[in-house]
Amino acid sequence: MKPYPLLLLGMALLAACAGPSSEKKAAEAAEDSASAATEIEHTTDISAYIEGVDDYADKGGRMLTAHDFAVGDNSSGLVGIYSASGKPLRLYLYPESHQSGYATESWIYLDTLNGKPIMLREIIKETNRVRENSFYYQGNALAHSESRVAADLAALNNAEFGPYKSPYPENDYRLKPADVNTLATQVLDAVRSQRKDLSKAANEMRLAGASHWATGNEPGWSLAIIPHEKIIFTGNYGADKFELPYTDAQKGNKDATEFSTSGNGHTLSARFEPKRCTDDAGKKHEMTVTVTVDGKELKGCGDMLY
């Protein structure tokens, strides 16, 4: 970034020693260089921000998901990454169910100040090659776009970027920040919408970032697993409630997912088995759950909230 001020100074000195025509050309060149410097600074700042978001997501950012989201003729799965305070940071759209044409994965990064997209990155798996396109936004304008191609994903990181050339520039939403913002808004609405297959309490826990939910009647109890944050157990129809430290899931036999934790004077283990379960009200759930709290075993039904 530092060579640009020196370059502008050199152009100014050159203009002072030349005639009016040369001075005008030098001024125009200086303006172009200043614009280029601003663009590079902008994209560099965004890249640094994106690295931070990706690192946060890898370490366990709060996550919301949705499925069967229509994007044109295709169906996409959705993943929203949120900060601990609930601000959306990154949206991920991936191929799911029906696909027309090439399979595309897209990441939309959002500005935490105004919630608008600052970058769109996409990976397109074409015939015998993979393409990566990146678009940087500044306010309501496209600041920069680039593209690179490789034989496969493994070779993509070593490929060089070149200018992005749109196959349909007049109708390419990637080039229009307002259209990308509309898509981002629709995705955010989808991941935050109430799931009709879940109870009110389960939906509340899902919006809080929970990945697993279970309930039973011995007497009435519920369990919510919030990755990287906490495990919440409520028993005796809500009269007893406590939080325990989160621990990573472990794989049990029969493809079960197991959690084990202790704290605040309590111990808890939970086993989510991928076996259909019908609760006392006749509602079907995707998992059979066994929870042991302070030595007492409880049986119930559960669901994945991701």
For residue 30, pLDDT over 50 is answered with no
pLDDT tens digits, one per residue of 148-177:
999 999 999 999 999 999 988 889 999 999
Q: What pLDDT score was predicted for residue 41?
A: 60
The pLDDT of 68-72, averaged and rounded, is: 84
Q: What pLDDT score was predicted for residue 103?
A: 85
Q: What pLDDT score was predicted for residue 139?
A: 84
pLDDT tens digits, one per residue of 182-223:
999 999 999 999 999 999 999 999 999 999 999 999 889 999
For residue 133, pLDDT over 90 is answered with yes
For residue 37, pLDDT over 50 is answered with no
pLDDT more than 70, % of the chain? 85
Q: How far is CA 304 from CA 17, 18, 95, 195, 205, in A?
A: 72, 72, 20, 12, 11
- For residue 29, name the pLDDT band (cuts at 50, 70, 90): very low
Q: What pLDDT score was predicted for residue 179?
A: 96
CB 201 within 8 A of CB 214: no
Q: What is the pTM of this model?
A: 0.80
For residue 34, pLDDT over 90 is answered with no
For residue 135, pLDDT over 90 is answered with yes
Average pLDDT value for the chain: 86
For residue 36, pLDDT over 70 is answered with no
Q: What pLDDT score was predicted for residue 42?
A: 63
Q: What pLDDT score was predicted for residue 183?
A: 96
The pLDDT of 23-29, averaged and rounded, is: 46
Q: What pLDDT score was predicted for residue 81?
A: 95
Q: What pLDDT score was predicted for residue 161?
A: 95
- Exposed/middle/buried for 6, CB within 10 Å: 0-12, 13-18, 19+? exposed
User: What is the spatial distance between Cα 231 and Cα 247, in angstroms, rounded to a whole number?
Assistant: 8
pLDDT tens digits, one per residue of 244-267:
999 999 998 989 999 999 998 999
User: What is the spatial distance between Cα 277 and Cα 285, in angstroms, rounded to a whole number?
Assistant: 5
For residue 108, pLDDT over 90 is answered with yes
- For residue 31, name the pLDDT band (cuts at 50, 70, 90): very low
Each as own residue / partner, the long-range contacts of residues 231-240 (CB below 8 Å, 24 or more positions apart, any chain) are 231/259, 231/261, 231/268, 231/270, 232/205, 233/266, 233/268, 233/291, 233/293, 235/293
